[in-house]
Structure 1
Amino acid sequence: MTDSKKSPGPRAGASGKRRRLTAAAARVLHEQGVERTTIADIARAAEVPAGNVYYYFKTKDELVEAALTEHADRLRELTDELDRLPDPRARLKALVTGWVSGRDTAARYGCPTGTLAAELGKREEGGLDLTIGRVVRQLLGWVEQQYREIGVTGPEDRALALVGAYQGMSLLSHALRDPEIMTREGDRLIRELDAPE
């Protein structure tokens, strides 16, 4: 008797298409913005026929919400990975290093979460602004916990300052199309994290 590979069933294929659509939506919405992006753009990026999108997502807003969930999942994966580092200061420094490593993308498109928050915050309907707000709060909560473990005074304020610094350097890098802003500001943040309390 020989081993044979079973082909994935229809559920696995459907799950794969949905996953591809969600990942593509996160990327394309970051690159083009919510209002400029069409369902056809996302379908093309996911290599899924445009008509199939409606099997998984009835509206563009459902697809945007799935992309926001993708951002939250990526953030959770990142913080889970950072949590394996030995101490909170090392975790925060690794977070900043990760931000800086994305400097070329930030210079071209801005921060994925920040740009979506700015765009969705201008909408009057849908509640997607609240969804992206939860992603930002997820990051703030994790950063605050690191500062709490370090034992600094005012960990909430320190978390706001660090995440705010990231948003600022990302925005300036994007506005000026200068990725080195991220490098310089990242170095400054690392020095601050290394400074004794």
Structure 2
Amino acid sequence: MTDSSAGTRSRGKRERLAAAAATVLHEQGVEKTTLADIARVAEVPVGNVYYYFKTKNELVEAAIETHTRSLSDLIEALDRLPEPAERLKALIAGWVEQRDTAVRFGCPTGTLATELDKRGDGLDATVADLMRTLIDWAEAQFADMGRTDARESAVALIAAYQGISVLTNTLRDPELMAAEGRRLERWIDSMA
């Protein structure tokens, strides 16, 4: 076995643990999640978790990094669309496609941000950066559409999604997300 193959396997386990952390933290919340829960989902012996992550907070940070990479990949895919209005509507369509997940667990980033805000360990600032990235991207789309209120529009869009995620989850009604998605698409069309 070479050092590079050992490094690849280590990265594989670490990435599996981070992805599992993102999933389990979303489904169970930070406080209820144990390292054993994450290890089980990642299919890694619980004793191995400590090789990659010394604390639960390190796993939470890894989960946030996983969300950050996912957002980066999403933005990269959306940026391939030719028009900013199309990009924004594709973002909305992606949210609507995830409505069944929102029914069960809410928005992955929003619920994590809310929970981390109560802990006071600084991880809330890390997840806030992730939310800021999405707002900044949306602002750039509205600016490309010639909107002088690009920042306000971006905040309104993300706030609408976060709000409908809470309502969809609380009322267990996926149609709420679908209806809000249609409304947001009409709003984007009215600006184009």
Q: How far apart, in 2, do the equivalents of 1:146 and 1:80 lie? A: 13
Whether 1:134 aligns to 2:102 is no
Any residues of structure 2 matched to 1:33-182 within 5 Å, and which? 33-124=29-120, 126-182=121-177
Q: How far apart, in 2, do the equivalents of 1:160 and 1:12 lie? A: 40
Any residues of structure 2 matched to 1:7-18 within 5 Å, and which? 9-18=5-14
Where does structure 2 lack aligned partners over 5 or more consecutive residues? none
TM-score (norm 1): 0.94
Q: How far apart, in 2, do the equivalents of 1:161 and 1:194 lie? A: 15
Aligned partner of 1:19 among 15, 20, 31:
15
The letter of the residue matching 2:178 is: T
| Structure with the higher helix share, 1 or 2 | 2
Counterpart of 1:3 in structure 2 is none
Compared with structure 1, are the counterparts of its residues 16 and 152 closer, same or farther at alpha carbon in structure 2 (3 Å cutoff)? same
Deviation of residue 196 (structure 1)?
4.2
Partner SS for 2:80: coil
Query: Structure 1 stretches (4+) deviating beyond 6 angstroms?
Result: none
Q: Deviations over 1:136-155 (max 9, x none)?
A: 00100000000010011210
Deviation of residue 163 (structure 1)?
0.2
Q: How far apart, in 2, do the equivalents of 1:140 and 1:28 lie? A: 25
Where does structure 1 lack aligned partners over 5 or more consecutive residues? 1-5
Identity across matched positions, percent? 58
Partner SS for 1:64: helix
Deviation of residue 60 (structure 1)?
0.2
The letter of the residue matching 1:73 is: R
Q: Deviations over 1:112-151 (max 9, x none)?
A: 0000011000112x21000010000010000000001001
Q: Which protein shows a greater Rg? A: 1
Q: Deviations over 1:82-128 (max 9, x none)?
A: 0000010000000000000000000100000000011000112x210
- Please provide the CA RMSD for this pair: 1.2
Q: How far apart, in 2, do the equivalents of 1:14 and 1:133 lie? A: 29
The letter of the residue matching 2:92 is: V
Partner SS for 1:146: helix
Q: How far apart, in 1, do the equivalents of 2:64 and 2:104 lie? A: 20
The letter of the residue matching 1:94 is: A
